Structure 1
Amino acid sequence: MLGPLTISRDGVPVVLPASRKLRALLAYLALAPHPVGRGRLCDLLWDVPNDPRGELRWCLSKLRGALDEPGRRRVSTQGDTVALDLGDCLVDALEVTSAAAQGLGTFDVERLRVLAGLFTGDFLDGLELERNPHFNSWLIAQRHRFGSCHAAVLEQLAGSLPAGCDEAIGHLQRWVELAPFDERAHAALLAGLAGRGEIGAAEQHLAAAARLFQSEDLDFGAVNAAWRAIRDRPPAASPPMPRALVPAGPRLVATPLDAGPVEPNHASLAVMPFVEEISDGTGGGLADGLTHDIITRLAKLRDFFVIARGSVFALAEKNIAPEDAGRRLNVDYVATGTVRGPTGGTVRSPTGRLIVSVELIEVRTARIVWAETFERRPDDIFAVLDDICDSIVSSISAEIETVERNRAMLKAPNSLNAWEAYHRGLWHMYRFTQTENEQARHFFDMALRLDPTFARAYAGLSFTHWQNAFQRWGDRDRESALAFESAGHSLLLDDHNPAAHWAMGRALWLRGEQDGSLLELERAVDLSPNFALGHYALSFVHSQSGDPQAAIGSSDHSRHLSPFDPLLFGMLGARAMAHVRLGQFEEAAEWALKAAARPNAHAIILAIAAHCLALAGRLDEARGYAAAMRKTLPHYSSDDFIGTFRFGPDAAALFRQGARRIGLG
């Protein structure tokens, strides 16, 4: 499919009928991750024909004749759905998709050459359908996607070959052809030409590229700066410029504190305008409004750089594909999506339903990091969009953090920059053991040595001291003071950062200052309503001596915002303690069991489960959790449990009652 559509069996071409729609149907089913409804296929490929289902049946019969084999049916129909079984076939587009998902950096040169050789033209070259806007929209999106994959393969392949060799230059030239506005492609080609001593050819390319950028009213400064750096290097240092040295273009961040170009070591994101697919034209700008809200809320999290709304909308007006826009903006990630419904009566959007689909793409590799479809019946359209926006923002933030953490873990510790050291610290921090916590503190310290203005790194450092105090891994008073001091540094650096107020709120809780703690935590969620850890911390404080109903509400909201959070055990455990204070012991036991089942739940979570189960009268289960907890903390008692938290007298008495039932008194 990466070129004109062809099928072969044992090297012999398979002849298909002349129907273009049959070929379109084959391609769509081949890429579909799940069986597709017949109604959806009719809506996609036939523009109000006399008998769309009859035409679909004809196409499927011809596909069976071409694809099915004795004893092997490749065209599968179950109920009203259709699927293709191509599990043992080589499908070029699926090979590329799988490689991108695995990570192109994991492959050797030979495998990369094979992947590059799969691209013989545009995706489904020449297969546009007249009067089929839905299929053509899908086709355009797939062409953009596989074009970006092709560019990523060429980039990786050129970087894996000897500097300046003919093959590497050929791949770089093809990369520039595919992505003519990618600054890194031009810089890499210039470096390759200079490495061969072809300065004249490099300057000719530079002049031609400058005219191209000017014709599109794009800034060429980053490529000029890259060429100056290449040209000024001594001859012995002539290999192609490493990607990290290609200057980053200015990134406009949707926060009032940003003032122009930023340090390129931080992750960056562009949210491209969502496409509105309201069939009767009554949408009223829902997609633009959703895009604006997502950009604003992501910027408020202050986790990474977010390109300002004006920049992404300006590129979208030029019909530039999201992946291409990501390369032009020189960002690490691009988010894009569609909004459909709520009033149109189409197959894909049943009457009265709103469908929002979203993808998060890693620009350099063209890998889809996360994709989701949200479908709601909008009794209140704005409330539903607000809820979907919450989920999108939290998921994007969590997915980027996961990718950045995992990438940092693959690098040598002495090669980390501040951003990578911070995420390496997060990776260790979320393991919740004393040894890993010390490793996390080390990497947060490293991040701050590299960048003393990194507010989030101070918040992470505060978290490690908080854990030392809470888990009794160090002197509680000393570690509490250090948690407070680090949180204070974070606030001084960025008073608008929700993580800074979160760290301070938790530090104040350690010091027994509950009112001050709640004020700081409420400030954190006021600054960023999508900050899941802020809502969790509010639940944690309220569950012990504040409002238990508020604790339950905050726990539920934190889990709605971040359903796969590394601190999910704490969100569940806080709700369990709130139910105890309400006298709802069976509910407390069930929530505590969910908390203890999390793979990174530590010994104190097991202690919560033991106490809650005991209060519910489930003594055998309670003793089992108590025994598991005492493998880590052999002398743990109810005094330790009560001393760990800040319970009021009534709650403390209840937990002591449960402890006595299972021998922890």
Structure 2
Amino acid sequence: MTDHPVQLRLLGRLTLCRQGVQIPLPSSRKVRGLLALLAVTPGPLPRSRVCDLLCDSSSDPRGELRWCLSRLRAVLDDASKPRVDAAADAISLDLSDCDVDVFHIARLREPGLETLNVSQLRQLGELYTGDFAEGLELDRNPEFASWLGSQRRRFRADHVAVLEQLVSRLGEQEHGEAGACLEKWLQLAPFDRRAHESLLQRLSMAGRIKEGEAHLEATIRLFEAEGVEWLPIRECWRAARRHASQHVQTPRIEVNAAVPAAVAAESSTNKPRRASICVMPFSDHSLEPGARGGLADWLTEDIITRLAKLRVLFVIARGSVFALCERNVPPDEAARLLAVDYVASGSVRRYQGRLNVTAQLAEAATGRIVWADDFSYSLDAAFDVLEEIGNRIVICLAGQIEAAERNRAVLKPPNSLDAWEAYHRGLWHMYRFNADDNRHAAHYFQLAVKQDRTFARAHAGLSFTHFQNVFLHWSTERDREIERAYAAAADSVVADDLDPAAHWAMGRAQWLRGHVDDSVFELQRSVSLSPNFALGHYTLGFVQSQEGDAQSAIESSDTSRRLSPFDPLMFAMLASRAMALFRLQRFEEAADWASKAAVRPNAHVNVQAVAINWLAAAGRLEEARAQVAALRRVAPGYGIEDFFRAFRFTSETRESFRRAAAKVGF
């Protein structure tokens, strides 16, 4: 500990030491609150935000903040280094040379709990010495109380995740330690179904049936008093007893932290997995503490509905999350009670004519925040603003979960993938837009549908790989690939007629077959099923940009980009807008948008060809020739006829392209 000049402990009672000798902290709770706030906040905080959190009730909040900073400097700064930085209008702490318990925890957890061995998990567990900043409450300061509560819930959930990992890995020879971990787990999260199930599993396999029955009875009474569902725990106990009776000689129990082993053995083969999420009711800081209703509840319900319409996630219904919220169950505990993979939460605040909304997404098992953002709009059109915020939150939640699941699937051995993981591994390859990765994507989508014929998204992904083979000339069997794209899309629709991705795939396949009206119908069905489905809006714009309503194509492209600003298909969204602008004879604008599309990551040869033609048509010949040279480096034999084979332009538009392409030797 003495290797660092300053040692700061934030878990348990706040303590500050220099070379191992404890230094008394100022008696002011606001000073200690400021220390806790700045220590765990990455980067500087605006003074206004600190004043809102700590000095909201003061007649001179900035003056009080200056006083708190002076007191903080007295205990943190020394001759070797000033650690309190209050330059300009932001405040931060430089604790890089200090030993801080929460920093040490973050470093140990960074590789992921599943990568740590038992010894490392024990070391990590010993660092959780209590709640975050125990005893630090500020009266009449609901903003700080909300922040403090969220930090305590986060670290408590982190501690629970460590205990869960330890319980799952400790064997019979470590019976006492496993029991202590389970006891601590239940103290921290008394309504965590997995903790009760793990304990019942161990009691059953140890033959301690009377103790198991007594624990089950006490658990039922506890859950019943709080209105929490207890039937799954009883079913787990029954399954565990059946499992134990069939394996009396089994020397060691392996407890699965995600799903109890006995239940998993009975149900894993007949319940296809999907990523699951619960959206906890957003809190409204403008209402009295504990009050519900108004904009926050409206926004929460809107997000739940829109996420459910996407059909790609298992979304917990409104009734369940609001019931837990009414019992003051925090988001992390609610996520564990509901056994979901992800939990979303947030807050709404009206302040000085503005509507401020914060939202975050966390992994339920680890408590790690996957995504967080805040939105601020004028309060004049609150409901219009909330709809826009809801759109952005929904697409961010879905996109971040897809990215996290994609990355997790890529890191797993290919022969260990279930249908959900195989699908996301296929997406990882699909978005690279080259022939080799497209073949790999098709393989993983086929693996997914082989394991789960009802998985509409996997069928849609497979259809997309066949579409790519045709659109990018990666197959010599054009007609067969078109029919394969159509067949896979049809399988997707049959699997789930309410999935927008199924109708998106069918719309693409119908366009390949030359059935433009049918294509538009399917794509419109896609976006009507889920107005937040960005790919549906983009593809509708793509089809209409060539031989439909060009102005509608621009609107569809803009909608897709607004819904999914970091989409892997962003280059195609930009190119569709450029094609529609060209048909409206707005050549200079078309050239600008086409140029933006061509330089996006993964922009393929057809998009580069769009840029060549549009630049040439706008008279920007040098830029067009440079784009020709870039295209030739990746596809030496690509020409104007390949371009026409990919798209469906009118004969008049084609002639315009031929004249433009001739100017730059394309």
Q: What's 2:338 paired with?
A: 329
Q: TM-score, normalised by structure 1?
A: 0.92
- The amino acid that maps onto 1:365 is T
Change over 3 Å in CA distance of 1:550–1:206 after alignment to 2: same
Query: 1:536–1:555: 8 Å Cα contact kept in structure 2?
Result: yes
3-state SS of the aligned residue for 1:78? coil
C-alpha separation in 1, matches of 2:76 and 2:229: 50
Once the two structures are superposed, residues 516-566 of structure 1 have per-residue CA deviations (whole angstroms, 9 ceiling, x without a partner) of: 111110111011100000000011111111122222211111011011111
Alignment of 1:110-129 (within 5 A): 110-129=119-138
| 2-structure distance, mates of 1:15, 1:593 | 62
Counterpart Cα distance in 2 of 1:658 and 1:161: 71
Closer, same or farther: CA 588–10 of 1 in aligned 2, 3 Å = farther
> Residues 164 and 193 of structure 1 are in contact (CA less than 8 Å); yes or no, is this contact kept in structure 2?
no
State the partner residue of 2:317: 308
| Residue 299 (1) aligns with residue 299 (2) | no
Deviation at 1:325, TM superposition (A): 0.8
Q: Secondary structure of the residue that 2:86 maps to in structure 1?
A: strand
SS at match of 2:11: coil
Quote the residue 1:487 is aligned against.
Answer: 489
Which residue in the other structure is 1:241 paired with? 255
Q: Aligned equivalents of 2:288 and 2:391: distance in 1?
A: 27
Partner of 1:319: 328
1:456 CA drift (Å): 1.4
Partner-residue secondary structure (3-state), 2:27:
coil
What displacement does 1:188 show? 2.1
Contact kept, 8 Å, 1:271 with 1:334, in 2: the verdict is yes
Aligned twin of 2:233: 223
- Which of 188, 196, 201 aligns to 1:186? It is 196
Where does residue 621 of structure 2 map in the other structure? 619
CA 1:593–1:89 in structure 2 vs 1: closer, same or farther (change >3 Å)? farther
Match of 1:267 in 2: 275
Secondary structure of the residue aligned to 1:583 is coil
Using a 3 Å threshold, how does the CA distance of structure 1 residues 88 and 556 change in structure 2: closer, same or farther? farther
Aligned position for 1:206: 216
Q: Is the 8 A contact 1:518 1:538 kept in 2?
A: yes
Matched residue SS, 2:568: coil
User: 2:580 is matched with which residue?
Assistant: 578
Q: Give the CA deviation at 1:127.
A: 0.9
What residue is the counterpart of 1:378 in the other structure?
379
1:531 aligned partner: 533
CA distance in structure 2 between the partners assigned to 1:188 and 1:280 by the alignment: 39
Aligned to 1:425: 426
Q: Which amino acid aligns with 1:220?
A: W
Residues 1:618 and 1:58: Cα distance change in structure 2 (over 3 Å): same
Q: Amino acid of the residue matched to residue 381 of structure 1?
A: A
**Equivalences, count:** 644
Q: Secondary structure at the match of 1:530?
A: coil
Read off the aligned partner of 1:6 and give its amino acid letter: T
Shift of 1:276: 1.1
Taking structure 2 as the reference length, what is the TM-score of the superposition? 0.92
CA separation of 1:593 and 1:235: change in aligned 2, threshold 3 A: farther
How has the CA–CA distance of structure 1 residues 464 and 53 changed in structure 2, closer, same or farther, with 3 Å as cutoff?
A: same
Native 8 Å contact 1:182 1:328 kept in 2? yes
> How far off its partner does 1:486 sit?
1.1
Task: Tell me how far apart the structure 2 counterparts of residues 576 and 100 of structure 1 sit (CA, whole Å).
Answer: 46
**What letter corresponds to residue 648 of structure 1 in structure 2?**
T
| Amino acid in structure 2 at the alignment position of 1:577 | M
Query: In the alignment, what sits opposite 2:4?
Result: none
Residues 396-545 of structure 1 aligned to structure 2 (within 5 Å): 396-474=397-475, 475-545=477-547
Say if 1:309 and 1:248 are closer, same or farther in 2 by CA, change over 3 A. farther
For residues 44-92 of structure 1, the C-alpha deviation after alignment (integer angstroms, 9 at most, x for no partner) is 2235335433332222112112111324221111223221112332322
Q: Give the 3 Å change call, closer, same or farther, for CA 579–88 of structure 1 in structure 2.
A: farther
User: Is the 8 Å Cα contact of residues 524 and 531 (structure 1) preserved in structure 2?
Assistant: yes
Match of 1:641 in 2: 643
Amino acid at match of 1:58: W
Contact 1:361 1:370 in 2 (8 A): yes
Q: After superposing the two structures, state which structure 1 stretch, 178-187 or 587-596, moved more.
A: 587-596
TM-superposed deviation, 1:244: 4.8
Alignment gaps of 5+ in structure 2: 1-9, 264-269
For residues 216-257 of structure 1, what are the alpha-carbon distances to aligned partners after superposition, in whole Å with 9 as ceiling and x for unaligned? 2322222223233333330344413323542899xxxxxxxx
Q: Partner amino acid for 2:392?
A: S
1:424-467 deviation line (CA, Å, top 9, x unaligned):
21111111111111111111111111111111111111111111
Partner Cα distance (2:227, 2:617) in 1: 70
Q: Which moved more, 1:543-552 or 1:476-485?
A: 543-552
1:138 equivalent among 147, 165, 168: 147
Structure 2 CA distance for partners of 1:98 and 1:264, relative to 1, 3 Å: farther
**Partners of 1:369 and 1:213 in 2: how far apart?**
30
Q: 1:569 to 1:433 in 2, by over 3 A?
A: same
How high is the sequence identity, in percent, across the aligned residues? 54
Structure 2 letter corresponding to 1:235: V
Q: Distance in 2 between matches of 1:331 and 1:505?
A: 33
Which residue of structure 1 aligns with residue 182 of structure 2?
A: 172
The answer to whether residue 194 in structure 2 is matched with residue 157 in structure 1 is: no
Q: Secondary structure at the match of 1:617?
A: coil
Paired with 1:352 and 1:98, the residues of 2 have a C-alpha distance of 41
- 2:167·2:255 contact (CA, 8 Å) conserved in 1? no
Q: Distance between the aligned counterparts of 1:33 and 1:285, measured in 2?
A: 32
**Counterpart secondary structure, 1:337:** strand
> How far apart are 1:277 and its partner, in Å?
1.8
User: 1:99, CA displacement in angstroms?
Assistant: 5.4
Secondary structure of 2:356's partner?
strand
Q: Secondary structure in 2 aligned to 1:634?
A: coil
CA distance in 2, matches of 1:43, 1:452: 53
CA 1:578 to 1:101, structure 2 compared with 1: closer, same or farther past 3 Å? farther
Q: Point out the more displaced range, 300-309 or 45-54.
A: 45-54
Q: Which residue of 1 aligns with 2:661?
A: 659
Question: Do the aligned residues in 2 keep the contact of 1:340 with 1:355 (CA within 8 Å)?
Answer: yes
Q: 1:596 to 1:98 in 2, by over 3 A?
A: farther
In structure 2, what is the equivalent of residue 256 of structure 1?
A: none
Q: Secondary structure of the residue that 2:380 maps to in structure 1? A: coil
Shift of residue 512 of structure 1?
1.1
Aligned to 1:336, the other structure's residue is in SS state strand
Q: CA RMSD in A?
A: 2.3
Partner SS, residue 15 of structure 2: coil
Question: Which amino acid letter does the alignment assign opposite residue 2 of structure 1?
Answer: L
CA contact (8 A) 2:156 2:188 kept: yes
1:264/1:643 CA distance change after superposition, 3 Å: closer
CA distance in structure 2 between the partners assigned to 1:632 and 1:80 by the alignment: 50
In structure 1, the gaps of 5 or more residues are 250-261, 342-348
283-292 vs 399-408, greater mean Cα deviation: 283-292
Kept in 2, the 8 Å contact 1:21–1:45? The answer is yes
| Contact residue 168 and residue 255 of structure 2 kept, 8 A | no
Contact 2:171/2:254 (8 A) holds in 1: no
SS in 2 for 1:379: helix
Cα distance change on mapping 1:95 and 1:478 into 2, 3 Å: same
Report the 3-state secondary structure (helix = DSSP H, G, I; strand = E; otherwise coil) of the residue aligned with 1:123: coil
Q: Secondary structure at the match of 1:380?
A: helix
Task: Give the secondary structure class of the aligned counterpart of 1:235.
Answer: coil
2:99 aligned counterpart, secondary structure:
coil
Q: Partners in 2 of 1:623 and 1:167 — Cα distance?
A: 71
Deviation, structure 1 residue 477: 0.9
* Greater Cα offset, 110-119 or 397-406: 110-119
2:156 matched to which residue of 1? 147
For residues 650 and 88 of structure 1, do their structure 2 counterparts lie closer, same or farther at Cα, with a shift above 3 Å needed?
farther
Query: Deviation of residue 649 (structure 1)?
Result: 2.0
C-alpha spacing 1:439/1:71, structure 2 compared with 1 (3 Å): same
1:258 matched to which residue of 2? none
Shift of 1:476: 1.5
Amino acid paired to 1:35: P
- Cα distance change on mapping 1:98 and 1:539 into 2, 3 Å: farther
